[in-house]
Every structure is written in C-alpha cells, then in structure tokens.
C-alpha cells in the first residue's frame, strides 16, 4: 500500500526551478530514501510533501490527504524533522517536548519517547548544551510526538561524528520497526545504502532512478571483485570453471577474482571443496556512487 504519492511535482523559487519533475511513491512501513547532491531539490520536495511549501505543479497525496488542502489532516499523519533545528538555545529538553505535545489532541507519552531516543538523562538539559547527536535525537523525538504514521527526516546525520551517526541510524531503524514509514533525505551514499529499502536518486530536480540499493547498483553492471590470500596453492581452473567468474589475476600471494552474481559465496564454496581457506577475504562491489555516476554522469559527493 502506498502512503505517499508524488506525481510530476514542480516547484520554482521566482525564476529558479528547484524541482523540475519529480514522481515517486512511498510504501507503508518502508524507509524510503531521497538521495542526491547538494541543491538537487531534495529538501524542496519533502517540504512540499510536508505541506510547508505549495507546489507550482503536480499532485501530492499523503495517506490520501492533499497537503495543500488539508494541513490539519496532514499534521495528524505526518511528522517532520527539519534540516536546521529552530529551537531556542535555552529551552530545556522536557519543555520542548511538552510544548510540541501541546500541539496535538492525542500526543505520544513524551517521557517514554525521551527514553526511546536515549535522552532520558538529558530531560532537564538546555537545548544549547546538547551535542550534535543529542540535538538530532531530540529532533527525531519532536517529529514523533504527534504519533505520526509517517516521519520525514531531512539530513539527519549531517555534521555528526561517525559514532553518533551510527547511533542515529539505529534509532531510525527502531522507529521504522515501531511501524512508522520513513522518508529519509540524505546526500550520504553510505547512509542510504545502510538504511533504505528503496531510494529515489534525484539530480537537478528530476528523478534519475528509483530502486532498492542493490537494484540500483545492479543497474551499473554489478561487477564485483573478491580478493584473498589462499591458505594453499589454488589452480585457476578451480575458479574459472564457476559461471560467476569472469577473470582471475594474481598480485604476490593475493588472488583477485572478478565476476558477477553471487560471486563471493561461489568462490568460497569452491575453495572449501579444495580445503583451501581464503585468508584476508575482501569483497569489492560497485556502490551507489557508481550507480549515480552511471545514471547522471555526475558524482554524488
């Protein structure tokens, strides 16, 4: 079932076209990624979906609601985490949640929500004293306080250190597991690859492709490399006989196998049959960056 339908969305700022023509559908229960370089039109797209901007063309439906016509209805089903947090430095964590909860008739139990996002101990801390990761956790809690069916998260991990980023990813997965459909805007390939069920690649206000991360990568040929140091000499024929294998090369004591499909399992199984252990095994695959480059002629980063 689709919970969001965007058809031929078009949005201009004066004479600058931010979104040329964007269409996609988001299914209930998924993490749907909107991935693209800076200025591609991602934020403008989700701002239109969230009822924060009025489109110049196209149609939008969120749980059957038209965001332009029914903002109150939209607020009941959709929670938004905005790119830059607009909270005053001196507001306390609990005050922010209490304030946001007061906007809803039937809000979430916010002390419980605070625990869920791992901020229970920061209840009385001022917003200005929170770390970047804690601010983002609070912004997720604020997006969820209205018990939405859908949450829009925009550039959630920008500016976070690697540990805080991974912690935030776990939080996003927990939110999805609680039954909330998530639209995740990001320009981090790794984030989209790790979290998203499906991704819309956006470039210059248009959708370049929509697919699962693996599906997008497979579109660029899906060639992989498996590298290892065999525990005993291995004859090329052991591997060249596999349908997945295209080529074998050797550098020093390292074997590099290039191929397609389920290459790594096929290679390790063939080696196991010879009682050979592939030490220092590494698998290199095409990335979403490669897919983006192949589809648009441009690099993501």
Ligand X SMILES: Nc1ncnc2c1ncn2[C@@H]1O[C@H](COP(=O)(O)OP(=O)(O)OP(=O)(O)O)[C@@H](O)[C@H]1O
Rule CB under 6 A: which residues touch ligand X?
A: 13, 16, 18, 36, 38-44, 187
Rounded CA-CA distance 290/301 in Å is 11
Which tokens sit at 259?
Answer: 């191929």
State the burial class of residue 267 (Cβ atoms within 10 Å of its Cβ: 0-12, 13-18, 19+): buried
Residue pair 181/1 in contact (Cβ under 8 Å)? The answer is no
Residue pair 118/171 in contact (Cβ under 8 Å)? The answer is yes
Q: Closest distance between ligand X and the C-beta of residue 292, in Å? A: 13
Which tokens sit at 58?
Answer: 């196209």
By C-beta, is 14 or 275 nearer to ligand X?
14
- Helix residue ranges per DSSP H, the chain: 42-49, 71-77, 93-101, 110-116, 132-144, 162-177, 189-195, 213-218, 236-240, 263-273, 288-296
Handedness of CA 185, 190, 196, 201 (dihedral sign): positive
Cα dist. 189→33, 218, 250, 284 in Å?
A: 10, 15, 31, 16
By C-beta, is 36 or 55 nearer to ligand X?
36
Q: Closest distance between ligand X and the C-beta of residue 200, in Å? A: 12
């Amino acid at each position: 079932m689709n919970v969001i339908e965007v058809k031929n969305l078009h949005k201009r700022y004066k004479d600058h076209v931010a979104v040329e023509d964007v269409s996609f559908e988001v299914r209930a229960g998924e993490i749907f990624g909107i991935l693209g370089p800076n200025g591609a039109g991602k934020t403008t797209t989700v701002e239109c979906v969230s009822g924060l901007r009025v489109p110049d063309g196209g149609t939008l439906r969120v749980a059957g609601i038209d965001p332009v016509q029914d903002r109150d209805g939209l607020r009941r089903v959709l929670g938004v985490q905005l790119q830059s947090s607009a909270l005053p430095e001196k507001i306390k964590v609990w005050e922010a949640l209490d304030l946001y909860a007061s906007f809803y008739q039937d809000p979430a139990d916010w002390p419980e929500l605070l625990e869920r996002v791992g901020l229970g101990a920061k209840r009385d801390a001022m917003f200005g004293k929170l770390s970047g990761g804690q601010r983002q956790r609070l912004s997720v809690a604020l997006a969820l306080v209205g018990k939405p069916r859908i949450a829009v998260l925009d550039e959630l991990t920008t500016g976070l250190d690697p540990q805080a980023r991974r912690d935030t990813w776990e939080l996003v997965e927990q939110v999805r597991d609680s039954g909330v459909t998530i639209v995740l805007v990001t320009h981090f390939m790794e984030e989209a690859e790790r979290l998203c069920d499906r991704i819309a690649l956006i470039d210059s206000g248009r959708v370049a492709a929509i697919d699962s991360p693996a599906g997008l990568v497979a579109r660029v040929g899906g060639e992989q490399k498996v590298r290892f140091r065999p525990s005993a000499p291995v004859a090329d024929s052991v591997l060249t006989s596999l349908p997945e294998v295209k080529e074998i090369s050797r550098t020093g004591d390292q074997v590099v196998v290039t191929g397609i499909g389920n290459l790594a399992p096929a290679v390790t199984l063939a080696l196991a049959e010879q009682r050979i252990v592939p030490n220092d095994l590494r698998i290199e695959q095409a990335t979403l960056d490669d897919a983006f480059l192949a589809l648009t002629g441009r690099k993501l980063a």
